[in-house]
Structure 1
Amino acid sequence: MTKEQERARAHRRQEKLDAKAVQRERDAARNRQVAVVVAAVLVVVVAFVVLATKLGGDSTPAAAPSASDTPSASASTAAVEGCEAPPATPTAIKTQGLPDKATAAGKTFTAVVTTNCGDITLQLDGAKAPQTVASFVALSKSSYFDGAPCHRLTTQGIFVLQCGDPLGGTGSGPGYAYGLENTPADGKYPKGTLAMARTNDVNSNADQFFIVYDDTDLSSVPEGYSIFGTVTGGMDIVEKIAAAGVSGGATDGPPAAPISILKVAVTEKKA
């Protein structure tokens, strides 16, 4: 083989090596582009999941009373004078049918809610919210609320103690649901208001209710929440629970001072 042939052969060998190097660089660049695209997709997916978690679980604007959400917090507790240890949370819900609103229409009831921290007395307005009151009275008389923890306290912007689900905010309700009644046009819920919690569905009223312990503006939820009564005694108990704060130091979650309903006694007020 002549020197000229050797040089030509070496040249062809170098060209092949150069071509392979170029291809490797192209492959690496393509892989980097794919990695960037995959990372971007993952960021979008994670952002979507986070957003869905925040909006889907609560289905009403942040921190508004919702019947489908149980904010998580640590298990820290606070001792409050006058409170005994709460009972164990029930493990099942007593389902039943929707009571006839005619049983409460035009009537006024007094409900004494006995808790592990004392009695809270409510006046129920069947004239303005007959279906809501009929439901609350029927659930009370069937011992539905017995042992139910008040599972949610909010302490910033919205000031409510939420109760009514025997399973502590994780239950699916008593087996029925109904629509809104007596919602304030201005979205104002004064201290002492008794109203129903719900999901974003306006027909999802069921068992969960909330007590407003300081004036609260819920005008961010145009449809509002059904007001069906007022607190006439024992507000100091709710205020003590609120003063103890939320478990773990949050502003929305289980109360640091556990409070549970032991029983509810309802009587009709005669004219």
Structure 2
Amino acid sequence: MTREQERAKARRRQEKLDAKAAQRAREAARNRQAAIVVVAVLIVVAGFVFLSKQLGSTTPPAAARSTAAATTPAATTSATTTAVAGCTAPPARPTTIKTQALPAKATAAGKTFIAVVKTNCGPITLRLDGTKAAQTVASFVALSTSGYYAGSPCHRVTTSGIFVLQCGDPLGGQGTGPGYSYGIENAPKNGVYPKGTLAMARTSDPHSNADQFFIVYKNTTLPTEGGGYSIFGTVTGGMDIVEKIAAAGASGGSGDGAPNAPISILSVAVTQKKA
């Protein structure tokens, strides 16, 4: 074999080695690109899952009643409580709901009732208007006289934008209800709820009125979408109790949550006002 043939053979051998090296380099590059794509996809998926969990953690329970049309905050328990003059320790919260049938509106139609709501902070007196809100008053009277409200906490106070104390759910805002619901009555078309107004709380469903109610302690305007909120009475005594609970603020300083000063309904005594 001549020297020229040896050099040609060596060049061919080197070219084969170079081709194999190039092939390995291309394969390595493809593997790196695939790995980068996989990592990127995992990061995107992880980020999506995290975001979903974060959003899901603030999604309120659908059954909770709310006095704001677009929000339904879950009831929260304050880590610390504020001592308020005239209040004693609230009773233990009930663990069950006493379900019952919707009472006939005829039992309250055209009638006026006086309800004395005894709380651990003192009595709150309500005047119930069965002429303007017969079904609502019939329901409230029936729940009150059956002992449904006994021991139930007022689970929500709002101190910014709207100004209400919300009560009526024995389980403290779980929203399970007494076993029935009904529609809206006597809701103001302008959405204005003066101080002292007694009205029903509900979800975005206009037919979700049931047990929860709220007391307005400062003039408030609420959304009219969905029909507004049923006014069925006024506070005639004990507004100072509601005001001092509101003054103590809401849990976490959010302006909407469980009262820092716990208040619970001990009993409700109802009498019909004679003409």
TM over 0.5: yes
Question: What does residue range 155-234 of structure 1 map to in structure 2 within 5 Å?
Answer: 155-219=159-223, 221-234=225-238
What is aligned with 2:96? 92
Is 1:237 the counterpart of 2:251? The answer is: no
Question: What does residue range 1-271 of structure 1 map to in structure 2 within 5 Å?
Answer: 2-44=6-48, 46-47=50-51, 50-51=54-55, 54=58, 56-57=60-61, 64=68, 69-72=73-76, 74-219=78-223, 221-271=225-275
3-state SS of paired residue (2:241)? helix
> 2: distance between equivalents of 1:15 and 1:63?
76
3-state SS of paired residue (1:124)? strand
> 2: distance between equivalents of 1:155 and 1:221?
22
The 1:39–1:234 alpha-carbon spacing in structure 2 relative to 1, beyond 3 Å, is same
The 1:22–1:262 alpha-carbon spacing in structure 2 relative to 1, beyond 3 Å, is same
> Does the CA-based 8 Å contact 2:121-2:263 persist in structure 1?
yes
- In structure 2, the gaps of 5 or more residues are none
**Letter of the structure 2 residue corresponding to residue 121 of structure 1:** T
> 2: distance between equivalents of 1:115 and 1:66?
30
* TM-score computed with the length of structure 2 as normaliser: 0.88
Bigger shift: 28-37 or 220-229? 28-37
Q: Percent identity?
A: 60
Q: How many matched pairs? A: 271
> Does the CA-based 8 Å contact 1:137-1:266 persist in structure 2?
yes
**Letter of the structure 1 residue corresponding to residue 189 of structure 2:** A
The 1:203–1:156 alpha-carbon spacing in structure 2 relative to 1, beyond 3 Å, is same
> 1: distance between equivalents of 2:153 and 2:15?
84
Computing the radius of gyration over CA atoms, which structure comes out larger, 1 or 2? 2
Aligned CA RMSD, in angstroms, stands at 2.7
> 2: distance between equivalents of 1:33 and 1:220?
51
The 1:62–1:7 alpha-carbon spacing in structure 2 relative to 1, beyond 3 Å, is farther
* TM-score computed with the length of structure 1 as normaliser: 0.90
